[in-house]
Amino acid sequence: MTDKPTSPTTEGSDPGRRRVLAGISVALGGFAALLVGVPVLGAVLKPMVQKEPRVWRKVGAVNDFKIGQTVAVSYENGGTKPWAGVTGRTSAYLRRDTSTAFTAFSVNCSHLGCPVRWEQSADLFMCPCHGGVYYSNGDVAAGPPPRPLAEYPVRVNNGDVEILTTPLPIDGRVPKAS
Amino acid sequence: MFRRIGNWIEDRTGIGELIGPVMSHLVPRGSAWLYVFGSATLFAFLLQVVTGIALSFVYVPSSSQAYESLKFITENSPLDHFLRSVHYFGATAMIVMVGLHMLRTFLFASYKYPREASWMSGTVLLFLTLAMGFTGQILRWDQTAIWSVVVGAQQAGYVPFIGPALARFMLAGESLGGQTLSQFFALHVFVFPVLITALLAPHLWMVIRNGISEPPKRGKPVDPTTYKEEYHQLLEKDGVPFWPDAAWRDVVFAVLMIVTIVGLAITLGPPHLVDAPNPTNLVTEPKPDFYLLWYFSVLALIPHAWTPYVIIGGPGIVFLVLFLLPLFARSGERHPLRRPWALGAVTVVIVGIGAFWSLATWEPWSPRYDAPPLSAQTIGNVSPEAQAGAVLFHDKGCIECHRIGNDGGFRGPNLTYVGNRLDARELTWRIANGGYNMPAFAKILSAKEMNDLVAFLETRKPALSATH
């Protein structure tokens, strides 16, 4: 423990050479770290940008729904993995406006995403978490929600009602059907 | 024989050389029972590591199966049931101890020179501990857990610019799915514990390097130019070795804590699993566990327009203020009675959290979906229009937020005696136009319904209730 390291003037240990060796070591180490680190970070962070396929999902036949009535429907998400189980499914509120026109609302409150409940007799959506309320057209009626309920693309296809799978509307924006 | 083995190990490894000075280092006298919370937090963390590892032997981190495995753990396997209980109460203990540890270091201004970095690393550890709590609650993977992921993602979505990307990271995709639970499992079991351990190392090392702060004395401010010298003089004059003179209290307290955790685990059991996770079951009220419950109330009660700023800015500012505190208050008085602002801040924080907490237990802002129709007794002997209005009061959802007698919600004003305050015109105007927390019912009610409802509300007067 007490011996001093050999004097730095020993052959081959001049300060210039040391600086080069240190520089090379740090640069090589950095290279190896990037070589592995970039793909590792990419793999971990890919959900931030990865797009899932968008699919039209049948939620029922047109005549299953009464005009003017709003009901909860459920369907499978776009890119669901087999091991997602029931968590691969999602819900929407579907209202039949006319014989051919439907509106589909996100069930997620625009405040913090809690599931709003449709109150048929009151004609309102109400959120259990912080008391947000929406009118039947999805507009904010009261409470903290900053935006109306998001609307999902919905269509009638061969007598079936279909909803386009849509990412959770985090900032209220729903990408258009392509 | 044992001695020779011991000597051999010491000679080859030098473990004693490493630990000896740690055990025998001098600490100031008088550092008594208030100094045990840091070590208690550490012991709670170790308990969490051990019980967590053991739980991972039986838990299945799969979005489709986790709930079933938890049900098995909770209902069919007594030892695992016990583990899960201990892990839960250990988490509770860790959060409580972190809180007390922080309160003590703040009140004694232990964050001042030269222990600024101890406090700063502690601030990060505090947030990591909360992150462990939140991710752990998600691993319960019941109905509350999956909706908490959605709420967490939506909350992250308020971050400027990168919000939606952060939200997708939390969901591990565009919505809940097969990867969501795997990701929370990885965060809870690998990422955050590794980060905590990595920060604990310097946090503990600095205790050895700078010593624990001596109990504050009034009129003896910290002066960075002389503090270290004075501290060393204090130790040389009056210090006692950490082991066992000071450490015995840490041991006694930690053992008490662990006995309490085990006792609670046996008597109360693990947290209740609510329904199986199901994103299509919309009759659910997700709520955070106790340590974040108060924040849930804050978000309900702040002015709505503030939401986007408070939701992210609030925790952000709290973190920055805590983190930077020692840089702005590195010297000066340490005694709490000489720091009125610090005492005031602690009082405000404790009273504030307590108040929001107690509100969260009955959530006055939440609609009472299950409020029964008003009873004939409450309605009283009124005209047929008012009778019809009383039915509407329930059916149109008024009762979910307004109270009459002993029925109904709390969001809006109590309407038991509203007939005293407002006349028919005012009632009509209010119902038709709504307000800050009330929908406008102009388009929802027909003219007759409006008349009936107003007729009913007009009858709500004390005289009426006195007659029955």
Is residue A13's pLDDT more than 70? no
Is residue A37's pLDDT more than 90? yes
CATH (domain of A148):
2.102.10.10
Give every CB contact of residue B274 below 8 A, 6+ residues apart in sequence. B142, B143, B144, B284
- Name the residue with tokens 């406006």: A97
Cis upstream peptide for B244 (omega within 30°): yes
Is residue A169 a part of any domain in this protein?
A: no
Domain holding B439, by residue range, is 376-466
Is residue A73 a part of any domain in this protein?
A: yes
pLDDT for A174 equals 85
Does residue B149 sit in the same domain as residue B269? yes
Is residue A173 a part of any domain in this protein?
A: no
Mean pLDDT of A89-116: 95
Domain holding A37, by residue range, is 1-50
**pLDDT tens column, B284-318:** 988 899 999 999 999 999 999 999 899 989 999 99
| Torsions phi, psi for B284 (to 5 deg) | -155, 150
DSSP A70: E
Give the residue among B455, B222, B174 at the shortest CA–CA distance from B332: B222
Chain A interface, best mutation among B149, B155, B282, by max A CB count within 10 A: B282
Please identify among residues 173-202 of chain B the ones whose CB lies closer than 8 Å to any CB of chain A: 173-181, 183
* Helix, strand, coil in percent for chain B, rounding step 5: 70, 5, 30
Name the percent of chain A lying above pLDDT 70: 92
Mean pLDDT of A58-72: 96
Does residue B356 sit in the same domain as residue B404? no
pLDDT for A7 equals 52
pLDDT for A127 equals 95
Angle B447-458/B424-433 helices, nearest 10 degrees? Answer: 130
Please identify among residues 262-281 of chain B the ones whose CB lies closer than 8 Å to any CB of chain A: 276-280
Is residue B411 a part of any domain in this protein?
A: yes
CATH (domain of B44):
1.20.810.10
Which stretches of chain B drop beneath a pLDDT of 70? 31, 463-468
- The CA–CA distances, whole Å, from A152 to A50, A59, A95, B116 equal 20, 13, 12, 52
Is residue A5's pLDDT more than 80? no
Does residue B307 sit in the same domain as residue B258? yes
Does residue B276 sit in the same domain as residue B384? no
Does residue B152 sit in the same domain as residue B70? yes
Residues B148 and B128: beta-carbon distance below 8 Å: no
Does residue B280 sit in the same domain as residue B187? yes
Polymer length in residues for chain B: 468
* Cα A48 from Cα A37, distance rounded (Å): 17
Does residue A34 sit in the same domain as residue A88? no
pLDDT for B468 equals 46
Task: Tell whether ipTM is more than 0.85.
Answer: yes
Is residue A130 a part of any domain in this protein?
A: yes
Our measurement of the distance from residue B352's CA atom to the centroid of its chain's CA atoms, rounded to an integer in Å, reads 13
Name every chain B residue with its beta carbon within 8 A of the beta carbon of A79.
173-174, 177
Does residue A96 sit in the same domain as residue A146? yes
Is residue A27 a part of any domain in this protein?
A: yes
Is residue A12's pLDDT more than 70? no
**pLDDT tens column, B207-246:** 999 999 999 999 999 999 999 999 999 999 989 999 999 9
Is residue A10's pLDDT more than 60? no
Tally of domains in chain A = 2
pLDDT for B467 equals 47
Give the residue among B161, B124, B192 at the shortest CA–CA distance from B312: B161
pLDDT for A171 equals 84
Does residue A77 sit in the same domain as residue A119? yes
User: Which residue of A lies nearest to B365 if distances are taken between CA atoms?
Assistant: A131
Tell if the CB–CB gap between A168 and B171 is shorter than 8 Å. yes
Assess B433–A contact: CB distance below 8 Å, yes or no.
no
CATH (domain of B450):
1.10.760.10
User: Which residue of B lies nearest to A122 if distances are taken between CA atoms?
Assistant: B396
Does residue A5 sit in the same domain as residue A40? yes
Mean pLDDT of A115-144: 95
